Structure 1
């Protein structure tokens, strides 16, 4: 197999997106479109990638980093002109070069590998990736020769009535013999209505030079979708989402209704996990095996271990250990860690805290900037008062402590092992091991108050 290279076209601003964000950086299922393209290209055994940048060049570089080399297209003068900007980096090399657009996030590595394989097997100088459409209106048609090679590509507006009946279209993705590509690009002119240098002109120049131009028909034409506006962006997200969910189902994950579930590209899920309707799994989230993710739960950049049950809750940048239960209506904010078999219940919020094995907080509680040991009971309405208006403070609670309802833990304090906090107490000082802390105004009862109330 000869060396495989790629040129990714990502210089356009994308005015039809009506956005301050450059087109190729718009996300599809959690990743910028151009990153999807780069991943598929790398997975098709491409050794060297050059991304053509222009509008939003610095932002594109920040997203892709060292996954690609870069060439600048100062003026957008057509696809042929864009590829020519890579000449300094690629023109003297031998091998095969893929040219692909950065706004085509649905291409798979399998399809690109098949394109390379057919190109190499036939010894072609150029191979066009094509698709068969029931309605090819608006697309460039593939006109084949008697030998079934590509004779030429005819744009819809230039096609005869007979040519418009052709269903095979150009997807705008090609593999070229690298030397033949840059030799032909040097001859491309801009003598056309748009005054641009077209990559498709390379096809005719290669043929005129006696080269073979083949075509590979892709299995699923939806992969070639180019995103030029918000409608196409929505369609790409829907297609990618179905693909992701189907892959998880094949791997042993159960969905109540996969059409209602949004899972981003880098999420991993173990087998025998059940996903209910309306679930959102985003970022670098990992879900273990035999978990239950209840309806309308959102989990972002978090690690969930095996046998965890989460119902109608939000979890952000946190870790949940095996056997824990969360929700309904709980919120784990960033840097929260729940140990094994922890229970975080109704309307409990946890932030930047560590909660030890078996500790339970059933309802209506705020745990912020705290380190809780194992086997602790946290009563309803408990608040860790961690902020004085200027600074955050941290508290610690020992194993098997019991915190009664409606307690205020005013940080920083340390509550010892097996200590008791009485209901309604406000704790401002440390509590020793096995002690009872109580802070209440002494109760007094006023007799016959009902009559006094009526006489007011």
Structure 2
């Protein structure tokens, strides 16, 4: 099997996002857009990844620089997709395998699509292959031009289309696979002969065809997956689609989500079988929930929370960086932050942990089989032993426990 390298274009500023953050670092369901593209590449068997950076490069390198399979290449001037790939030539010179070229602002990409692209490329023994999609409204996308036999003749960017070509609904969403030597040869010939005066990567396909190379197109990209994110509205749309995927996966695994449109679950969350997620629950960050739990309605679970089995978190409970062991109950209006609560403890309505002393976060530890009365405030740092019973409405400190 041929080695595979992926070039991911992530250099753009995206003025339409109206942001100081690099576009590919904007989050979709808890993770940067670029993370989804990296995952898809790795799951499709890519050995090495080259990220083309430009605007905000320091932030991107800081976020992903610790990943051993990634190399960063800078595109100092924004001269088009072909120019972005040209910047990678030194990294590709000694590589003889396949090069995938993808966009970093396309978080809805699926590894299955990349696998189909690679399989088609290898089956056809093509010099270059692209994955296409069919859109009812193809505005803004490069059109796929085929001959009467269905063979691809090239791609025409939207701004360069004739009126007839604008009627074509098969488009290029930006999924390419090249034999690397073919790509390098084509890059030498690309010229900025277009409306935008840019170097188009799609011209590499035209050059390959003109020199007798075989170019194949496979219609493998679902319409929703083709959407890149160029503004805040599209970011919201991508997040909605990703949220549906996250919840579908959880429901297939045996989780009940009572009202999916009114529930938000981070892609990093893990939820066990037969747990029920009630409406208006918000789960953000790396959160793990065991089996047979009931969460919500109106529950807010934050990063670092670990929940055991058979736990009940009821209306307007907020849990942050806290471990709840099996059988814990917190049914109403409680805040539990930076705490460890052992098995079968019961947190009364409105009880909370005061975890910040004005300077730093402090820990609360509650032993098993403990009852914390309604409205009690536990002032951290505090450690409560097993089988304890705290009165309602009390402000409790470690000193108070020692006095008792």
Q: How big is each residue's C-alpha offset from its partner over 1:76-109, in whole Å with a ceiling of 9 and x where there is no partner?
A: 1111111111111123211111111110001011
Residue in 1 aligned with 2:171? 169
Cα distance, 1:71–1:170 mapped onto 2, change above 3 Å: same
Q: Which residue among 365, 384, 394 is the counterpart of 2:396? A: 384
Q: Secondary structure at the match of 1:231?
A: helix
Residue in 1 aligned with 2:34? 34
Structure 2 CA distance for aligned equivalents of residues 178 and 31 of structure 1: 31
* TM-score, length basis structure 1: 0.83
Residue in 2 aligned with 1:55? 55
Computed over aligned residues only, the root mean square deviation of the Cα atoms, in angstroms, reads 1.4
Q: How big is each residue's C-alpha offset from its partner over 1:27-80, in whole Å with a ceiling of 9 and x where there is no partner?
A: 000001111111111111100000001111111012213331111111111111
In the comparison of the two structures, how many residue pairs are matched? 391
Residue in 2 aligned with 1:235? 237
State the Cα distance separating 1:155 from its structure 2 match.
2.5
Question: Within the alignment, does 1:360 sit opposite 2:363 as a pair?
Answer: no
More relative contact order in 1 or in 2 (CA 8 Å, sep 6+)?
2
- The 5 Å alignment of 1:130-209 reads 130-209=132-211
Larger Rg over CA atoms: 1
State the Cα distance separating 1:147 from its structure 2 match.
4.2
Residue in 2 aligned with 1:320? 324
State the Cα distance separating 1:219 from its structure 2 match.
4.8
Residue in 2 aligned with 1:392? none
Structure 2 CA distance for aligned equivalents of residues 155 and 112 of structure 1: 22
8 Å CA contact 2:300, 2:318 repeated in 1: yes
State the Cα distance separating 1:218 from its structure 2 match.
2.0
State the Cα distance separating 1:378 from its structure 2 match.
0.5
Q: Which residue among 319, 344, 348 is the counterpart of 2:347? A: 344
Q: Which residue among 278, 281, 284 is the counterpart of 2:280? A: 278
Structure 2 CA distance for aligned equivalents of residues 130 and 50 of structure 1: 23
Q: Secondary structure at the match of 1:311?
A: strand
Structure 2 CA distance for aligned equivalents of residues 30 and 330 of structure 1: 24
Structure 2 CA distance for aligned equivalents of residues 156 and 54 of structure 1: 25
Q: How big is each residue's C-alpha offset from its partner over 1:6-43, in whole Å with a ceiling of 9 and x where there is no partner?
A: 00000111111011211111000000111111111111
Cα distance, 1:190–1:164 mapped onto 2, change above 3 Å: closer
Gaps of 5+ in 2: 356-362
State the Cα distance separating 1:120 from its structure 2 match.
1.2
8 Å CA contact 1:298, 1:315 repeated in 2: yes
Q: Which residue among 273, 285, 306 is the counterpart of 1:303? A: 306
State the Cα distance separating 1:160 from its structure 2 match.
3.3
Residue in 1 aligned with 2:358? none
8 Å CA contact 2:160, 2:195 repeated in 1: no
Structure 1 CA distance for aligned equivalents of residues 324 and 58 of structure 2: 37
Structure 2 CA distance for aligned equivalents of residues 130 and 191 of structure 1: 24
Cα distance, 1:181–1:32 mapped onto 2, change above 3 Å: same
Structure 1 CA distance for aligned equivalents of residues 158 and 195 of structure 2: 15
State the Cα distance separating 1:234 from its structure 2 match.
0.5
Residue in 2 aligned with 1:454? none
Residue in 2 aligned with 1:6? 6
Structure 1 CA distance for aligned equivalents of residues 236 and 51 of structure 2: 25
Q: Following TM superposition, where does structure 1 have runs of at least 4 consecutive aligned residues deviating by more than 4 angstroms? A: none
